[in-house]
Amino acid sequence: IVIPPTVQLGFRAALNEVQTKLLFAPDYPELERLALLNQINAKLGEAVFATIEGNDDDTDLAATVQQLMASKGLSLALIETASQGMMAALCAGANWLLSSQYQADCQPLTETLNALLAHSGADIVLSQSYSETRDTFINSDYSVELTTVIITAQHGSFTARTRLAGTTKRKQTQAALFGLDCLRRFLLACSE
């Protein structure tokens, strides 16, 4: 992609997102601006969850998931382990979040997931578990493998894995954001 010299490219990185910013001159042609944005979005693919115009900073991962869940009329039940309630907190006020439970230990969740899907009234159940003991997760900076499972009666299931490292707070934040991003990707795949 060739970015014209009159367009400034910038980045802002945080734990919860990486923003790519393009600054256009006020007299930059609208059609050319849109074409460049579409070209960049196409190259970045599903990693892009929002394109923001101007100074509107209200679109983040949680807001994107909120919009997708609401537009599809779906509901969600959560079983959180590594994220320790942070996914539910990021979805605060969402009428589609029917239940959220925190499990300190990562006991086998298959029966719990299926029971929650059957009895919660939710269309989607999302659960996360990690590979190490709770003590290792909480009291060390060692890396742990996180497994996110999404099940539905209508669209089957989805599983994704990643590694988390750092302090407990960092692993908690990474787990919550990974869970929401998995849900976002699952919802987009259900549209196709």
Q: Which two tokens stand for residue 107?
A: 């006991």
Summarize pLDDT for 149-167 with one digit per residue, the tens.
Answer: 998 888 888 999 999 989 9
Domain map of the chain by residue range?
Answer: 1-58, 61-191
Helices (H), 86-192: 86-90, 110-119, 134-139, 168-191
Q: Three-state SS for 192?
A: coil
Statement: residue 57 has pLDDT above 70: no
Q: Fill in the amino acid letter for 14.
A: A
Query: Could you tell me how far CA 108 lies from the centroid of its own chain?
Result: 23
CATH number of 61-191: 3.90.950.20
- The pTM for the full model equals 0.77
Summarize pLDDT for 59-112 with one digit per residue, the tens.
Answer: 788 888 999 999 999 999 999 989 999 999 999 999 999 999 888 776 666 667
Statement: residue 58 has pLDDT above 60: no
